[in-house]
Chain A
Amino acid sequence: MDVWERLGLEKTDDKRSIKRAYAKQLKTLRPDEDPKQFQELREARDEAIYLATYDFDYEYEYYEQEEEEDGEELSSQEETDHSTPHADTLIPSVDQTVENADLERALDEGEPRIDDTYVLTLEEASTEEDLVDGQPSDLAPSLEPIELPYNEGTDETPQADKGEIAEPSNLLGFYEAEIDDITYEQIDDEIESLMGPWSLWDTHEWRRFVNRVRECSFDISNYAEYEILSALGDNLTEAKLESSFKRDARLNILYYLDEEYGWTQNDRRIYAVLPSDQSEVLMDYLRHGEVGVSHGAGDTYYDAFGFPLLTAEHFKDYLGKSDSVYEKYYQKSLSNGKEMKPSWCWPGFLFSPLWLAHRCNDGLEALAGMFYIMALIVLHYGLTSPSLIASVLGTLMIVSVHVIVGIYGRKLVVTTLASSLQDLQNDEKLSREEKLKKLASIGRGGFKALFDFIVGMAGIGLIASIIYRLLI
């Protein structure tokens, strides 16, 4: 018998109605008296939920995420625009007359199909989905139970209440206690200091930290667990430890953490091999059987393929380790954004051409840097011979260029980087691979913008001096 037939239900992706149909069927039989039928029914339900989850929900969760992320409501027209092309491109449509059995076989063979009715039901369902399975973690529901009386015994309890019952003296205090005393940033900092080059590799320090986060909410503690795992993946695998400094101390920490969290070899291997964002997605899948849902700090979002959208981590991964300065700048751009204030930068001032050439770090741009220096030398000598005014003017020009780089250089780099990164993330036409390719050029984009600015200034100066010479 077909699963849908067993449930007495039309094919659907709506988990709620699958459950409802299951409940209805369940009441016609007694699990304790008819275990065989019950098992059949249950298996049919599980299968139906599985089909509903993995054939349909997948992209929708992504769009829900985006809606939440943007914080703006997409009109139903837009929503249709989003969903239809995806359903078309990812899942070839088939005729409605295809037998159920055929469809299932096709699904089993990893050949997903869909017929038109599904697209229709889905559009309806995606709004209902918000109510049933949507999980916006707003705080409002958690505040509701406050109305419930904190009453320990029913009134008819014959034995007198002995007063041993804990009665929170004030509910406000209770709520204060509920708030975690550590933030995501603090966790990052702690892990960095525990793992960093100056770490003492002291198990007690780790124990103190782990105990602290393990007392916090699941949100915080899961985040910390993932962060520790990913940091371990980078630094603390057994293979890497073989010849390292303070090997035993490090191994002890590893064993302690393994015991505390109950990690398996697999967990750590995942983190050692994959970039941390991807491994988080995989771990989520392994542990919760779900993909494409944000977790932890809430700043990781996933694209339609279940891969995380680009973050600071990618800078590190794809720009190479020596370029960690980009990551730092990106982080700065996140915190300061476009409102970042210009600030004095000594290297930018003293070595502006060399500094830029070093940062741009690209063949062509290095040549352009050389050109800039040559141009200034030529300009300088050209100006010194005819008159004193010209040489003073030239020197002032060079100094002012340096000052401008010193003051505005940093801001220009950071803001350009931030805005072009945002553009890239919001670009829906590009595939993930293309985005990654582009990322490298964006990483240098900030400096390039500054460089263009300076070359422009130098060019103007050069032209001005030529005109000046001609006029004289």
Chain B
Amino acid sequence: MAIVGIDLGTTNSLVSYWSDDGPKLIPNALKSFLTPSVVGVDDQGDILIGEVAKERLITHPHLTIGDFKRTMGSDKQVTLGGASSHSYQFRPEELSAFVLRSLKADAEQHLGEEVTGAIISVPAYFNDIQRKATIDAGKLAGLKVDSLINEPTAAALAYGLNEVDESQFLIFDLGGGTFDVSILDKYDNVMEVRATAGDNFLGGNDFRDLLVETLAGDNKVDLEALSASDKNKLIRLAELVKKDLSAREDATYSALISDVKLEGSFSRDRFEELTSTLRRRLRVPMERAINDATLRPENIDNVVMVGGSSRMPMIRRMVGRLFQKLPLSHLNPDEIVALGAAVQTGLKTRNAALEDVVMTDVCPYTLGTSAVVDDNYDNLVIVPIIERNAVVPISESQQFFTIRDKQTQINLDIYQGENMRPEDNILLGDLKVDVPAAAAGKEGVDVRFTYDINGALEVEVKVLSTDKIVRKIFKNQANLSDEDLEKRFKALSGIKLHPREHTENAVLIAKAERIYAESLKTQRDYVRSLILDFEQVITDQSNRDLDKVREQFSQNLAQLENNMFDMD
């Protein structure tokens, strides 16, 4: 009966727990803390998760999918398997559920007990719908999601625990797909989120995609005409170039994509120039968070870098320049969020070591309803009830009155967002309340919004004259209904995950097959023979030197790969 913390990322996911010595990460079957958030189907119809699936993105592009966090909260379904006999249709919640299931298995293996609950981190700027989708994903994986925690808040918890008292710091969280900024104030063991802002569609992947386009343009490759497999190859190449540019000034690359040899070099300056628009987009949430916290940039004591993409030197330089401070990244930016989620589990279970620590968070967006505020009855505007960056839990109310004689119903549309016009915001749902017929303005309702610590909104409407109360907890159409959830949970339970103990071999074979797909002629023959030999050894149960053979196989592959992507 354990509760774990989970960082469900766009590119990588991690699982952690609170031990007596503080937060600890849990390694997966490959002894790595990072499990790529990639899901695939193998030839037997089993589900592959993590490194294995990631390797198969190139060899089996129609059987594999990554980056699904960006579609969380939408109805977008993915078909895995296509025409083959093992074809599945998955919603983003279900894909996330597979990753969660794999993480759960890792945790149970490591802790030696059943894992029932989890605290999952989500980007602070995730809206209500996306949050609910995340909770549903947990349910589908058989985990009770005790609460959600905002990613920058989690990072702050991990960072703040060791930090000296009395400081105001900014968390700069640039992940694979999302960007969040939070400003925290720490004093007397109280960690208070002052403001949060972000961009749900800005992350390291956008930097990479720009690079993909440019690489294709440089080598006169038509992106549209590329097959899915070749496209994934190109994305992989861009990923490598991007990482290489973090380490040195110039990256040279050479790769074979659809029989065209891509060759050339890419300088860091060029990459920086290419991405200047993206970098400027990073400014906006920072400015907003600082303004919302009624602070000035010089009041920020420290800037903490979180998320893998914050490793890019240009990002650090930009942050350094903006704040005139060296940004801190002494905690591993990939792991800090998961560590923070573990701290939150400690707080939740009231661990003795954390008794004195209190954390308060904010609601990152404005919640309100649409109403008429002037004489023009067609002119609907948003009336905010809970303003953004209000500390949660919070309960606020406002009164609204009828605008027409003998009006018998008041219709309340509940919106989330910062824009004045209702249509520019996200509609969370609506509520209809019957009122007695009377002259315009005589009848009214008291609308109370209650926003709890997990980001769930409850709306309570009280008719002033009759004291009749209508309550509604919001659930969007894009989310699954309870019956649906139940049905899908059963369906998912029927699907087998690839056995955990075979993961290591599966990864190696997937990797070898990827290398096979990327190479030509004699090298192909060599790789094929390696794969076949290795498979022979695996099926031949009698071989006791499996570990040794595997080691050798893995070394051969590494050598091959180094020759292929000779980056210098």
**Chain A contacts to B: CB under 8 angstroms:** 19-20, 22-24, 26-27, 31-32, 35-36, 38-39, 42, 135, 137, 139, 141-143, 145-146, 148-154, 157-159, 162-168, 174-175, 177-180, 211, 214-219, 221-222, 262, 287-290, 293, 295
Contacts and interface: CB of A to CB of B under 8 A. Distances in A.
Nearest to A225: B287
A327 B293 CA distance: 38
B279 interface: yes
A150 to B, nearest CB: 7
12 contacts: A31-B393, A39-B395, A142-B326, A145-B302, A152-B311, A157-B332, A162-B243, A174-B317, A177-B317, A178-B317, A211-B280, A217-B323
Contact of A26 (B294, B335, B358): B358
Contacts of A178: 317, 320-321, 324, 326
Nearest to B310: A166
A35 B318 contact: no
B295 interface: yes
B33 interface: yes
Instruction: Describe A's contact surface by its main secondary structure.
Output: loop
A389 to B, nearest CB: 72
Contacts of A163: 247
Which of A42, A151, A153, A215: most chain B Cβ within 10 A? A215
A313 to B, nearest CB: 23
A190 B151 CA distance: 41
Contact of A218 (B297, B333, B356): B297
A149 B321 contact: no
Contacts of B283: 214
Interface string B290-311: 1100111111011000000001
Given A145-B302, A178-B321, A289 B452 contact: no
A314 to B, nearest CB: 26
Given A19-B187, A164-B243, A218-B297, A139 B324 contact: yes
Contacts of B71: none
Interface in B365-410: 391, 393-395
A159 B50 CA distance: 15
Nearest to B330: A148
A141 B280 CA distance: 26
Given A23-B187, A27-B358, A165 B31 contact: no
B122 to A, nearest CB: 17
Given A39-B393, A139-B324, 18 more contacts: A19-B187, A24-B188, A38-B393, A39-B394, A141-B301, A142-B326, A148-B330, A152-B332, A152-B333, A153-B332, A159-B32, A165-B311, A166-B313, A178-B320, A178-B324, A215-B276, A215-B280, A288-B291
Given A39-B394, A135-B298, A152-B311, A215 B321 contact: yes
Nearest to B331: A154
Nearest to A180: B321
A151 B247 contact: no
B45 interface: no
B360 interface: yes
A217 B318 CA distance: 8
Contacts of B302: 145
B323 A165 contact: no
A221 B318 CA distance: 13
B356 A165 contact: no
Nearest to B147: A32
Contacts of A159: 31-34
Contacts of A135: 296, 298-299
Contacts of B328: 145, 148
A5 B27 CA distance: 50
B187 A20 contact: yes
Contacts of B312: 166
A287 B243 contact: no
B437 interface: no
A288 B297 contact: no
B322 interface: yes
Contacts of B111: none
Contact of B330 (A26, A150, A215, A221): A150
A141 B301 CA distance: 8
Contacts of A35: 393-395, 450, 452-453
Given A141-B301, A290-B294, A158 B33 contact: yes
Contact of B189 (A23, A38, A289, A293): A23
Contacts of A137: 298
Nearest to A162: B243
Interface in B263-283: 276, 279-280, 283
